Amino acid sequence: MTVQTLQEAPILEKAHDIPLLKRTEQWSEVNSGSTNLQGLKTVADYLADAFSVLPGEVSLIQPEPVEAVRTDGSIDKIFRGQHLLTAVRPNAPIRLLLTGHMDTVFPADHSFQNLEWIEDGVLNGPGVADMKGGISVMLGALQLLEQSDWASFIGYDVMINSDEEVGSASSAALIERTAQNKVAALTYEPALPDGTLAGERGGSGNFSIIFTGKSAHAGRNPDEGRNALVAAADMALKLKATHREGLSVNPAKIEGGGPNNAVPDHAILRVNFRPKTLTDQEDAQNILDQLVDKVAADHDLTVVCHGGFGRPPKPIDPQAKKLFHLVKNCGADLGLDINWRGTGGVCDGNNIAACGVPVVDTMGVRGGAIHSADEFLIAESLVERTQLSALTIMRIAAKGGL
């Protein structure tokens, strides 16, 4: 089957008339690293203008401040960029959530700033795949929906945050709020180059563990000191020893210490956990809590832990399986072979699934080498994936759900 033989064909063919590539290029030419507030503001304004074509209310939401542990152990507040929210037909009986992120991993001073066609149909540039191309696809699909007979049967919220690449801490509450009472969700992270979707995902938790000991002279009275650096190293080794199938534990960095002639009284251990299931996540939290108490007692100092599991594991439950099969069937009707597989990466799809909403979180463009200067977008996938999303949404509207 091809697009031309579908009853939705007259609408889907209009994807060719939408400036999908042009606006992707415009948005990608602006650096919007997670910490570049000015760049994020520029992109947020572009997006607010672009999404105003939809028959709903577009708002720019102030971010929640985020706590961060500084190198000296003090707690700082970090402010992120604004998040975009668009609400269309809020009283519709069937409602969807569509999400994306405007930030990239490339800070304002990164060398990777420009777009380049590296071969015919393949565009290299910061954020072209992850995920400004995906946002263009999302908007394109909604533009097609609004021209269809199915639009009046379905409503939706669009949430595009500014901090996904740094864990979505300032937008987590917004994600949870907008996920309420949704029949399904689509998130526009890039698919793999061959179009494969991400299926189940593990979770992720980041922690900063602060060790406060007692300083002493390294020669005169070292035994009167309490070595925070040694305690942090002990904790790192004990945590790494809990690494197992289903739970990756990565002690990533120890900060602190002092001069060679003094017992160091301060250190911070940064550690990341990757649990495969919710049970693995609970185990990890219990392990961490127990080790905090044990290391504090063994070294006779204070240990305080900051952080949490910002990305819960995302299994594929029966409702999510229905949504994946709907996308696969829509793909088949478009002549696309859509498959999915598990991945160790995390995204806002983890948070949405934790709200009990089935989600496919790689509805964006086909591309690859994301988070590197080799990032690329396969340009023909802009129309292809716009049609796939539009057809999926129209089928949900026509069926009255999954």
- The pLDDT value recorded for residue 37 is 98
pLDDT by residue for the chain (402 residues), tens only, comes to 467 678 999 999 999 999 999 999 999 999 999 999 999 999 999 999 999 999 999 999 999 899 999 999 999 999 999 999 999 999 999 999 999 999 999 999 999 999 999 999 999 999 999 999 999 999 999 999 999 999 999 999 999 999 999 999 999 999 999 999 999 999 999 999 999 999 999 999 999 999 999 999 999 999 999 999 999 999 999 999 999 999 999 999 999 999 999 999 999 999 999 999 999 999 999 999 999 999 999 999 999 999 999 999 999 999 999 999 999 999 999 999 999 999 989 999 999 999 999 999 999 999 999 999 999 999 999 999 999 999 999 999 999 999
Give CA–CA dist 196/338, Å, rounded. Answer: 6
297: enclosing H helix or E strand = helix 278-299
Establish how many alpha carbons lie within 13 A of residue 120's alpha carbon, considering only the half-sphere containing its beta carbon: 0
Strand locations in 43-82, DSSP E?
A: 57-61, 66-69, 75-78
Give strand pairing partners of 116.
124
Q: Which residues, other chains included, contact 208 with Cβ-Cβ below 8 Å and sequence gap of 6+?
A: 69, 268, 269, 270, 305, 306, 307
- The pLDDT value recorded for residue 3 is 73
Domains and CATH numbers, the chain: 3-201+314-399 (3.40.630.10), 204-311 (3.30.70.360)
Residue 192 falls in which region: left (phi positive, over 0), alpha (psi -120 to 50) or beta = beta
Question: Which of 351, 201, 353 has its CA nearest to residue 280?
Answer: 201
Rounded to the nearest angstrom, the gap between the alpha carbon of residue 32 and the centroid of all alpha carbons in its chain is: 15
Give strand pairing partners of 307.
207
Strand locations in 189-276, DSSP E?
A: 197-201, 204-212, 247-256, 266-275
Amino acid occupying residue 216: A
SS3 79: coil
- The pLDDT value recorded for residue 253 is 98
- Tell me how many degrees the CA angle 393-142-53 measures, rounded to the nearest 5: 160
Strand bridging mode 204-212 / 302-311: antiparallel
Going across the sheet that includes 57-61, the strands are 57-61, 83-88, 155-161, 95-101, 184-187, 359-360
- The pLDDT value recorded for residue 2 is 60
Q: Which residues, other chains included, contact 83 with Cβ-Cβ below 8 Å and sequence gap of 6+?
A: 60, 61, 63, 159, 160, 161, 162, 170, 171, 174
Amino acid occupying residue 17: D
Strand bridging mode 367-368 / 95-101: unpaired
Give CA–CA dist 51/137, Å, rounded. Answer: 12
